[in-house]
Amino acid sequence: MTNLRYDDTEEALRANLRAMLATHSPWTAVLARVAGTEEPYDRDLWDRLTGELGLGALAVPAELGGAGAGFREVAVVLEELGRAVAPVPYLGSVLATRALLSCDDPDLLGQLATENRGIALAVPFSAAPGVPVHPVAVWDGSALYGTVTTVADALAADLLLVPATDGLYVAQARAPGVAVAPVVSLDATRPLCDIVFAHAPARRIAGPDATARALTDALTAGAALLASEQVGVAQWCLDTTVGYLRERRQFGRPVGSFQALKHRLADVWVEITEARAVARYAADCLATGDPDTELAAALAQAHCAAVAVHAAQECVQLHGGIGFTWEHPAHLYLKRAKSAALAFGSADRHRSTVARLVDLPAPTPSVSG
C-alpha cells in the first residue's frame, strides 16, 4: 500500500539537510553567486553534501559503498534543495545513477559511491519519458562523435553517460575530444550546456536494448522526483509570502489581514497540499517498483509543475514592488519553477500520457516537449 507520510528517517534527513543549507547556502549567498560570479555551482556546498551527508551515493546500494537508501529519501533531498534553490548538480546525478542501476554496472556505481565522482546523463533537459531518445553520438570503433544540446548539470560532472547508436557509453567530461560549453539558461542556479564529442575516448557499458531501458527508467525517475523539488519551491514561496504579509502594514493593519489576499494564499496552500500528495505517490511508486510508476510520474509532472509556477507568481506579485527587484530572491524561484516546467516534457505531454495510460481520449498537445 502506498505510504504518503514521511517516516522518522526521512524527517531526520530533512532536518540535517535543511540545517546545512541554512548555514552554508542561504538565499543571500545564492543570489550573490548568481549576480556576481562566473561559477554557477557552489562547489563547497556540493562537497559538503556529498562528503558529509553522502547525498551523491544516497541511492547506490550499500554493498557497493553507497547509502543504500531509496528514492523516497532522494525525493526528500530534492524537496529541500528546491526549497533553497541550491546551486548543486544533484538532479543530474540522480538521473545518471538511475540509468546505471538499470544497466547493473557495479564498478561505475562503486566509483560514484567511494570517490564522490560527479556524473551526468548526456540527454536534453526536455527529453520526456515514453518518447524514444535519439542517440546523441556515433561510435566509430575507437571514439565518439556527436552533439547534444541543453544538458542539465553536466558542467559539474566528471563523467558523462552518452547514448550512442550502439549502446550507452561513459566518457570523461574533461577528456580530449569532449567540449562542454555553457548556454544561456533561464534558471542560473541550474545551468544548461551543450556538449560536442569529437573523437572522444569512451567505454561502452550497455547495448542498445539495455540503453533504451536505462533511458526510460532515468527519465521516468527524473519526472517523478522533480515533482518533489517543485513542491519545495512552492512551499518556500508560500511560507515567505505569508511571513511578509504578516509584517507589511497598510492602512494601519497587516496586509495579510485583507480577505482577498487570504483567499489567494489559501488557494496556493490547497494546491501545494495536493501536489505534495501527488509527488509522494510518485516517489513511493518509484521506490517500490510499483507498476503504476509511469502513470504516477506523468501525473506528478502534469500537476506539480503548474503548482510551483503559480506559487512563485503569487510570491512575486504579493511582495509588491520588492518582489520584482533583483535583490529579493523571488525571481530565483520563479525562474526555477518556469524552467522545471519544461524539463522531462511539458505538462500537456504528461496529461496526454496520463490519458493514454488510463485509456481516455487525450487532448492535442499545444506545446512541444
Q: Which residues of 350-369 are buried (b: 16+ CB within 10 A; e: fewer)?
A: bbbbbeebeeeeeeeeeeeb
Residue 323 pLDDT class (50, 70, 90 cuts): confident
Report whether 129 contacts 216 (CB < 8 A): yes
Query: Does pTM top 0.85 for this prediction?
Result: yes
DSSP state of 321: G
Cell, residue 238: 508560500
Confidence (pLDDT) at 365:
62
DSSP calls for 172-228: ETTSTTEEEEEE--S-TTS-EEEEEEEEE--EEEE-HHHHHHHHHHHHHHHHHHHHH
At 132 the pLDDT is 84
Contacting residues for 367 by C-beta, under 8 A, at least 6 apart: 346, 348, 349
Confidence class of residue 38 from pLDDT cuts 50, 70 and 90?
confident
CA distance 203 to 362: 41
pLDDT at 368 over 60: no
Q: What is the chain's Cα-based Rg?
A: 20
Q: Pairing state of beta strands 192-200 and 178-183?
A: antiparallel
Q: Which CA distances in Å does 97 have to 30, 134, 150?
A: 26, 20, 19
More confident position, 367 or 52: 52
Give pLDDT, residue 360. Answer: 84
Residue partners of 64: CB distance under 8 A and separation at least 6: 106, 109, 110, 113
Q: What pLDDT digit, counting tens, does each position of 183-193 carry?
A: 999 999 999 99
> pLDDT for 219-246, tens place per residue?
999 999 999 999 999 999 999 999 999 9
Give the angle subtended at the CA of 147 by the CAs of 103 and 141, to the nearest 5°.
60
Residues 18-23 have a mean pLDDT of 96
3-state secondary structure of 148: strand
146: Cα separation from own chain's centroid = 25
Q: Report the distance separating Cα 335 and Cα 346, nearest Å.
A: 16
Q: Are the C-beta atoms of residues 181 and 329 closer than 8 Å to each other?
A: no
Q: What are phi and psi of 168, to 5 degrees?
A: -105, 130
What is the SS3 assignment for 355? helix
Q: What is the pLDDT of residue 364?
A: 66
* pLDDT beyond 90 at 35: no
Tell me what pLDDT residue 116 has.
79
Q: Concatenate the DSSP letters of all residues of 45-67 into one string.
A: HHHHHHHTS-GGGTTS-GGGTS-
* Mean of pLDDT values over 48-71: 90
Q: What percent of the chain has pLDDT over 70?
A: 98
The predicted model gives 293-311 an average pLDDT of 97
Percent of the chain at pLDDT above 90? 81
User: What pLDDT, on a 0 to 100 scale, did the predictor assign at position 58?
Assistant: 92
* Cβ atoms of 215 and 162 closer than 8 Å: no
